[in-house]
Amino acid sequence: MIQKKYFTTPIYYVNDVPHIGHAYCTLATDTLARYWRNKIGPDNVKFLTGTDENSQKTVDAAAKHGKEIYAYLDEMAENWKTTWEQCGLQFDDFIRTTEGRHHDKVAEMFQRIYDKGDIYKGSYKGLYCTGCETFYKESELVDGNCPDHKKPPMELEEENYFFRLSKYEKPLLEYYQKNPEFLVPESRKNEILSFIQSGLEDISVSRETAEFGISLPMDEKHKVYVWFDALINYLSALPDGENNEFWKDADVTHIVGKDITRFHCVIWPAMLMSAGIKLPDQVFGHGYFTVDGTKMSKSLGNVVNPLDLSKKFGNDALRSGLLSSFTFGSDGDFSVERFHDFYDSRLAGGIGNLFNRVIVLINKFLDGNKPEIQRPRNYTGRSGSAEEFVDFQLHEGLFVNLESYQLYSAYNHLFELVDKANELMNETEVWKLVKEDEEKAKIVFGELLAYLEVIMLISCTLLPETAGKMQQMLGDEKKAGKAQILFPQVDRTVVEEKETPRSTVKFTVNPKLIEQGYQVKAALITIPKISKKQSKPFRAHATEVLGNLDIDAALNAEIIQVANKSYADAEVDGKHPAVHLLEILKKSGKLPNINNVVDAYNLASVDYQISFGVHDIEKIDGDVKLDFTTGSEDYTPLGSKEKVKVNKDEYAFMDGSQILCRMDCKQCEKTKITMQTKHILIYAQGNSAVDALYLENGLDEAIENLVEYCGGGHVERVI
């Protein structure tokens, strides 16, 4: 029987925007699918990707954008699909979990597992993180927070249906023993095995409170748990599900990130065992990308969009730049600078330059006549003819590496061939030799053509868009084609335009103030352009936040009482900024519209009753400290031209020459945000009524608003 291959990526949460982490996974899968299409024929390979849509997150995100849920889902799913298309990915199907074919299959599987007696009703109380859509054990939390989302999970108690995962503990262990290659790489397998060995508990697979999703066939009030639903996409995309040739007769390979291997290697196989369906053949758990050493996240504003890279550098640069960065399976880091270096050295200066030089010289000195290919003299490997050299390199470079998921090694093999060819050119100085001894030069060109041939063949899988151009340059058997620039120069300044240099600010707090309960969380953020207008999505978001706010309770919050007491004790006529805003809100039903930046943090300020200090970094003199005043500091309050004298032993935020914010109530004039401001220092100020986590969450919300609604980026935490 002809071998068949079925490759899948995870289905992506539709409310997110595609970033290079997602692109990494999808490009890797695309590369494997391409390799196998070339080897066993396109009809024998299927590559599936798609979007995960039945989650509470999508309902919240639609509301946040003031959109009807299905309109929002269609728009977002289209965005994912076109992003992948524009990045040059060739998937055979794109599944959305809101489609009828998926709903039907999920209902059928659920019923089947229920009929088997593996789903039962019970009640559940636990800690649930909506970010991960997962329950956590107390012991898995870090300082009471979800280890991934750094936010406390919510307590959830509801009647649930449970899946008897515990029943599959032994069968799973046996399966792993019989199929040692089921989960690769080895390190991930060890993690999963020890997780299973530590004992599996039954898992809740329904939500009574969910508004959106797939109803249980036996109980309309409940919705299927989003992960139980999502995993089934791999079957629902196949007509006839598990009876389709791409399941029953194929090698089924799931490529997933390390964070979701547990779902794919414990829950999914157990579900399939229960339903009596063949298990996938292999799961590959790849590693994670950080950006400049930091986890990529919307709230940090460091998300790298693959489309930006593809537009600037081209799809093959995106593909090779990501896949050749580190071993598939390990973690690694991305930086625009390094990506650009890679582009210059490996692509433009390496492959591009090699092809260009060889073809230009053959056209110029040999009238475009291609000499016969030769086994390269500087190749020290196995002996044989030029053709054998090409076949052997192709085998070593592609087959060996891609059949064992070594994408990184495959690219490096390609780059080594380029280096060898360039070395041969330079050693023989063929551009001079051709003028002195044409016959000798023809031999060198023949050797170079052997390199170009194999590089082009490997590129059909690894640099698919460039391979076509390489083929044109190589022409036909006799004549070379026209020279082309395979990888044009990319101007560094264009790419780094967004990264306008910004001074950084050091922040310190007098320990005595910390003892009294004063604390601060601060960050720097860059805003491309401040606007007077509020955007529609921001207005929708503000309406939702303010709709959930109890204004009177907020005005009486302890954090405000403590602040008021400190102003009274210091005999300062101050008003906490959140109180000022809450009073306006109470009176007029709205918050003032100053500009999109001020409005963004004001919203977080009333939501958390936190006072934010917000300053134009360029106008700050040196570092910032929160300290006691001596009484001799300079201070001109916001909106005033006159200096005001402060008392000794008040507390204030100060830079090298003046008070930036008196207590937590009044900022100064000099560093205020104007329409020209680009770089901002924002700090959340807290007192003994709140803890550090509360302050952190408040600052996070302000930053998220600035990122989401003001295009803010390059966020850097400073304290």
Q: Binding residue for ligand MSP (CB under 6 A) from 6, 7, 24, 389?
A: 24
Is 132 assigned a catalytic role? yes
Q: Is 295 designated active site?
A: yes
Residues 29-58 that bind ligand MSP (CB under 6 A): 52
Residue 405 CB neighbour total at 10 angstroms: 22
Structure tokens at 308: 């930006």
Catalytic one among 170, 278, 295, 532? 295
CB of 4 to ligand MSP, least distance (A): 21
- Told to judge if 65 belongs to the known catalytic residues of this protein, a careful annotator would answer no
Q: Does 10 bind ligand MSP (CB under 6 A)?
A: yes
Site for ligand MSP in 658-697 (CB under 6 A): none
Q: Under rule CB under 6 A, which residues in 643-662 are in contact with ligand MSP? A: none
668 is known as an active-site residue: no
Q: Which of 298, 625, 678, 714 is catalytic?
A: 298
Beta bridge partners of 219: 216
The least CB distance from residue 16 to ligand MSP, in Å, is 6
State yes or no: residue 288 binds ligand MSP (CB under 6 A): yes
Shortest distance in whole angstroms from residue 130 CB to ligand MSP: 13
Q: Which of 272, 239, 481 is nearest to 356 (CA)?
A: 481
- Find the part of the chain contacting ligand MSP (CB under 6 A) among 18-26, 75-83, 419-427, 601-609: 18-26
Q: Give the active site residue among 132, 258, 575, 672.
A: 132
Q: Which stretch binds ligand MSP (CB under 6 A): 157-165, 229-237, 487-495, 569-577?
A: 229-237
Are 45 and 85 in contact by the 8 Å Cβ rule? The answer is no
Q: Who's near 350: CB < 8 A, 6+ residues apart? A: 415, 418, 419, 422
Q: Spell out, one character per residue from 260 to 279, where the chain touches ligand MSP: x when CB under 6 A holds, - when not.
A: x-------------------
Quick check: 715 and 517 in contact, CB under 8 A? no
Which residue in 169, 245, 259, 623 binds ligand MSP (CB under 6 A)?
259
Closest CA to 352 of 473, 445, 434, 441: 473
Q: Please give the Cα distance from 644 to 667 (Å, whole number).
A: 12
Active-site residue, from 146, 265, 665, 668:
146
Taking alpha carbons only, the member of 46, 48, 36, 50 closest to residue 6 is 46
Q: d(Cα 534, Cα 359) in Å, to the nearest integer? A: 56
- Whether 286 is catalytic is no
> Shortest approach of ligand MSP to residue 57 CB, angstroms?
10
Known active-site residue 25: no
Distances (CA, A) of 548 to 39, 426, 541, 600, 606: 58, 70, 11, 17, 11
Per rule CB under 6 A, is residue 352 in the interface with ligand MSP? no
Q: Which of 230, 322, 454, 665 binds ligand MSP (CB under 6 A)?
A: 230
Alpha helices (runs of H) in 376-489, residue ranges in sequence order: 386-394, 400-402, 407-428, 430-436, 438-462, 464-474
Binding-residue pattern over the window 447 to 476 for ligand MSP, x denoting contact by CB under 6 A: ------------------------------
95 versus 600: smaller Cβ distance to ligand MSP = 95
Using the Cα atoms of residue 252, residue 255, residue 259 and residue 260 in order, give the sign of their dihedral. negative
Establish if 25 lies at the interface with ligand MSP (CB under 6 A): yes
Gap between the Cα atoms of 409 and 498, Å rounded: 33
Is 223 one of the catalytic residues?
no
Number of H helices, E strands in the chain: 29, 25
Least gap, CB of 511 to ligand MSP (angstroms):
37
Nearest to 626 by CA among 716, 523, 518, 699: 518
Which range, of 12-20, 86-94, 553-561, 695-703, touches ligand MSP by CB under 6 A?
Answer: 12-20
Active-site residue (options: 4, 5, 22, 521): 22
What CA–CA distances, in Å, run from 143 to 98, 512, 690? 36, 25, 16
- State residue 128 phi and psi, 5-degree precision: -120, 130
When binding is defined by CB under 6 A, the residue of 114, 289, 601, 608 that contacts ligand MSP is 289
Smallest gap from residue 28 Cβ to ligand MSP (A): 10
Return d(Cα 50, Cα 77) in angstroms, integer.
8
Which residue(s) pair with 668 in the sheet? 637
Residue 392 interacts with ligand MSP (CB under 6 A): yes or no: no
For ligand MSP, which stretch binds (CB under 6 A), given 16-24, 371-379, 421-429, 706-714?
16-24
Active site residue 710: no
SS3 label, residue 635 = coil
The correct pick among 6, 12, 35, 651 for binding ligand MSP (CB under 6 A) is: 12
Least separation, in Å, of the C-beta of 155 and ligand MSP?
Answer: 23
Residue facing ligand MSP at closest CB distance = 257
Residue that is written with structure tokens 């803010």 in the block: 712
Please count the other Cβ atoms lying within 10 Å of the Cβ belonging to residue 691. Answer: 11
Among 256, 398, 402, 579, binds ligand MSP (CB under 6 A): 256
Residue range at the interface with ligand MSP (CB under 6 A); choices 11-19, 103-111, 451-459, 675-683: 11-19
DSSP for 94-107, please give it: EEETTSHHHHHHHH
Of the residues 22, 188, 262, 413, which one makes contact with ligand MSP according to CB under 6 A: 22
Strand segments, DSSP code E, in 229-362 are 250-257, 282-286, 289-291, 294-295, 332-334
Nearest distance, CB of residue 80 and ligand MSP, angstroms: 9
Cα atoms in the 13 Å half-sphere on the side-chain side of 93: 21
Active site residues: 19, 22, 129, 132, 146, 149, 295, 298
Positions touching ligand MSP (CB under 6 A) are 10-13, 16, 21-22, 24-25, 52, 230-231, 233, 256-257, 259-260, 288-289, 296
